[in-house]
Structure formats: C-alpha cells, structure tokens
Amino acid sequence: MPSPYRALFAAPGSKAFSTAGFLGRMPLSMMGIGVVTMVSQLTGRYGLAGALSATIALAAAVAGPQVSRLVDVHGQRRVLRPATLISLVAAAGLLFAAHYGWPDWTLYVFSAGIGCVPSIGAMIRARWAALYRGTPQLHTAYSFESVIDEVCFIFGPIISIGLSTVWFPEAGPLLAACFLAVGVFWLTAQRGTEPAPHPREHDNKGTALRSPGLQVLVATFVATGAIFGAVDVVTVAFADEQGHKGAASIVLALYAAGSCVAGLVFGLLHFKGAPEPRWLLGICAMAVSMIPLLLVGNLPFLAVALFVAGLSIAPTMITTMSLIEQHVPRAQLTEGMTWISTGLAVGVALGSSVAGWVIDAAGAQAGYGVPAVSGAVAVAVGFLGYRRLKRPAPRRGGTVEQHSERQERHVA
C-alpha cells in the first residue's frame, strides 16, 4: 500500500474502525441481490423478488437520513445499535416469511424494516473527518473509503449470489445480516474514535437538506444513481442476449474495478484550488463515458468501455464528500453524507425501472440510452446549480483543499 495510505492508520483506533466499517458495509451490496436470488429460487416470482429489493432500497433512502440525523444529535453508539437491531429483526422475519410461504404483505413489511439499516459509510467518513479535519490526510481517507465501497460492490454480489445458489436460498441475506451485526456492534464498541454529538447545534436548524449546495449535490446524484441502476440492468440483459448471462457479473465487476483503481490513484494526488470545477468535470466525464456504450456490439468491447467509464466514479464521489464539508454544518455532517447515498438509491431505483421498460420495448442495446440520458441530466443539473456550489454557507468549515490554500497563504 502506498505510504500516504499507510500514514492514515497511524492514528490510534483507525485500523479497527475501518475494518469494522468494511464488514458493516458489505450488506449494502449483498442484501438486495441476495433477496432477489432467495425469493426467485423459493417462489419463482422474479417480479416479487425485484419489488422486495426495491422496497428495501427505498425504505433505506427514507430512513437513512433520519438515522444519521439522530446520530449527529445523540452519537453513533446510542443510535446505531437500536437501528441495527430493528433491521436485523426485520431481516430474520423476511427469511422466515419467505421460507415458510407467508403472505406477500408480510414480505413487504419486513423488507421495509430492513431499510432502517444505518449508512455505515457515512459513519466511517465522519470518524475520519473527526481525526483529520483540515488536513490533506482527509482527502486520502475519503479516497480510501471510496476504494472500500468499490471492493464491497465487486465481491458482495458474488458472495451473496454464490451462497444462495450453491448452499441454500437464504444463505446470502443471512450472511449479509451477520456482517451487519458484527460490523455495527464492533464499530460502536470503539468509543475513542466516535465523533462527539452536537445536540445544541441542532436546535432550530432543521434538516441538512436545507442547504442549497447540498440540494444541488443530491439532485445531481439522483441522476448519477440512475446511471448506475440502468447500467446494471442493461448489462445483464445484454449479456443474456449474447448468450453469456453469467459473464454479466464479471463485466460489472470491471466497472467497479475501474472506479477502484481511479480512487487509489486519486488519493495519492494533492490538488490546489477550489473543488467545484473538479466536481463538475467529474460529472461531465461520467456522462461522456456512457456514449460508447451505445455502440457496443460484443461483451469484450462492453467490458473495456465499462472499465474506462468506472475511472470517473471514485474521483467524483471523493470530491463530493469534500464539498459536503463546505456546504453542511459540522454538526450535521453525517446526515449530509447520508443524503448523497439517498439520492443515489432513489436514482438507482428509477434507472433500473426505466431501463427494464426500455429493454422490454426495444432490446438491451437500446437500453444503454437510459444511462446516456441520465448522464446528460446530471450534467444539466450540475451546470444549473453550479453557482450555488460556489457560494458556501458561512462558518461551515471548508474543504480540505481550501484549508490547505489558507495555510499556504498564511505561511507566505
């Protein structure tokens, strides 16, 4: 591992909370696809399986920011443990209901309960921010966390699908629940690195989403999430049309691998100047990278095109986290980060739904028009909201890059 990444873990407790966060984040990529695999195997009803997965995603999109808001007020330990217990009980209920053939409505109720799962990625990033706020190391920490996100999305679905198909149908969601329990309870046992709660700062502040800059970021990432959701669905359909449906997981893993590589490299770089232009450039790069997908004729070309497209994901996400620090009060940082995940989740649900409709109507090749259009929408929202991003709220801290610039000017 390059030395800047090794230096991150010089802080006491950083290795432990990072490892716990990795385990706690695995369910993010395992639970939804695991439920689809489980229900489709037990009932043969793919429509029900997809609807339950969407219910989990949408419930998490609604509950996630509220859980994170409570974390900012009361602290991670006091909030994450009961929220996780609700999610675990709901997951157990779903496994029993699916196994014993309970009525469909019970499956939806339990799926909605699973959505209480906390945003572990936001919790870990908040701990890094508490350790390295105002230093260049925070940029490296956010880069490292983006790489961990991609590792989870590369291996999580493979593990979940593999266990459910080779062992027993409930194995994938069951392991995801175990990861969640171990990760959260281990994380919350580490009090030394837990960010201090800010109950007084929340008085009369309302939600972090009142920030105009955060509104722009979330709206843009709804469109970005639609890219991800559409690419996943269309790639599976395209591989199926090519007669190699199993290759879809490999191709999508390369998409995540491109982001992983870019995140590692991006974390080694140190930038001067405001982050807003880099963020907008990243959004544009993500949109442009969707155009070659309209021309794909075979799986090898698709694999290369998606790997290249993935190169713009992690740098854009890393810069987004830096911008959140600029536009959200420190006392609402966890909630602000979670709103980005919510925007992505809503976008994934929209993109996958629209892509499925287009595939049914015109085929998989035409389906790649959905991520291309979604990318164009993301660029349009980014340009329209750019002035809001250039006007950060007063006394809300600053990005890592801006802090470094202030230090340089002071020294000069």
Q: Is the pLDDT of residue 329 over 80?
A: no
Residues 240 and 137 in one domain: no
| Tens digits of residue pLDDT in 361-384 | 888 888 899 999 999 999 999 999
Domain count, the chain: 2
Q: pLDDT grade, residue 409 (50/70/90)?
A: very low
Residues 180 and 237 in one domain: no
Q: Is the pLDDT of residue 412 over 60?
A: no
Within a domain: 11: no
Q: pLDDT grade, residue 323 (50/70/90)?
A: confident
Closest listed residue to residue 274, CA positions, set 143, 405, 411: 405
Range picked from 50-59, 105-114, 399-408 for highest mean pLDDT:
105-114
Residues 234 and 307 in one domain: yes
| Tens digits of residue pLDDT in 13-42 | 888 999 999 999 888 878 877 887 788 778
Within a domain: 290: yes
In the predicted model, what is the mean pLDDT of residues 50-72? 82
Give every CB contact of residue 135 below 8 A, 6+ residues apart in sequence.
Answer: 400, 403
| Tens digits of residue pLDDT in 232-264 | 778 877 887 888 766 777 888 888 888 888 888
Within a domain: 165: yes
Residues 264 and 369 in one domain: yes
Within a domain: 7: no
Q: Which of 188, 223, 249 is the last residue of a domain?
A: 188
pLDDT of 307 reads: 93
Closest listed residue to residue 225, CA positions, set 335, 365, 61: 61
Give the whole-angstrom CA distance, residue 223 versus residue 379. 9
For the record, the structure tokens of 112 come out as 């909605």
Q: Is the pLDDT of residue 396 over 60?
A: no
| Tens digits of residue pLDDT in 112-162 | 999 888 888 888 988 888 888 778 788 788 888 878 887 887 777 778 877
pLDDT of 109 reads: 94
Q: pLDDT grade, residue 392 (50/70/90)?
A: low
In the predicted model, what is the mean pLDDT of residues 387-398? 57
Give the whole-angstrom CA distance, residue 378 versus residue 9. 35
| Tens digits of residue pLDDT in 171-189 | 889 999 999 999 999 999 9
| Tens digits of residue pLDDT in 190-240 | 988 888 887 655 445 567 667 777 888 889 989 998 898 788 778 877 887
Residues 326 and 372 in one domain: yes
Residues 262 and 307 in one domain: yes
Q: Which of 188, 219, 242 is the last residue of a domain?
A: 188
For the record, the structure tokens of 111 come out as 């799926």
* Domain encompassing residue 233: 207-412
Within a domain: 353: yes
Of residues 197 and 85, more confidently modeled: 85
Closest listed residue to residue 159, CA positions, set 27, 57, 254: 27
Of residues 398 and 57, more confidently modeled: 57
Residues 230 and 150 in one domain: no
Q: Is the pLDDT of residue 403 over 60?
A: no
Residues 253 and 378 in one domain: yes
Whether the CB-CB separation of 248 and 239 falls below 8 Å is answered with yes
Residues 84 and 214 in one domain: no
Within a domain: 3: no
Q: What is the CATH number of the domain that holds 139?
A: 1.20.1250.20
Torsion angle in degrees (nearest 10) through CA of 403, 136, 264, 248: -40
pLDDT of 47 reads: 67
| Tens digits of residue pLDDT in 132-144 | 877 878 878 888 8
Confidence (pTM): 0.74
Q: Which of 160, 188, 216 is the last residue of a domain?
A: 188
pLDDT of 404 reads: 35
Within a domain: 241: yes
Q: pLDDT grade, residue 46 (50/70/90)?
A: low
For the record, the structure tokens of 107 come out as 């499956």
Average pLDDT, the chain: 81
Closest listed residue to residue 95, CA positions, set 37, 182, 142: 37
Residues 327 and 274 in one domain: yes
pLDDT of 174 reads: 93
Residues 307 and 352 in one domain: yes
Q: Is the pLDDT of residue 53 over 80?
A: no
| Tens digits of residue pLDDT in 261-313 | 888 888 777 777 778 888 899 999 999 999 999 988 888 999 999 999 999 99
In the predicted model, what is the mean pLDDT of residues 96-111? 91
Torsion angle in degrees (nearest 10) through CA of 254, 347, 221, 146: -40
Residues 340 and 394 in one domain: yes
Amino acid letter at 17? F
Give the whole-angstrom CA distance, residue 208 versus residue 337. 10
Within a domain: 2: no
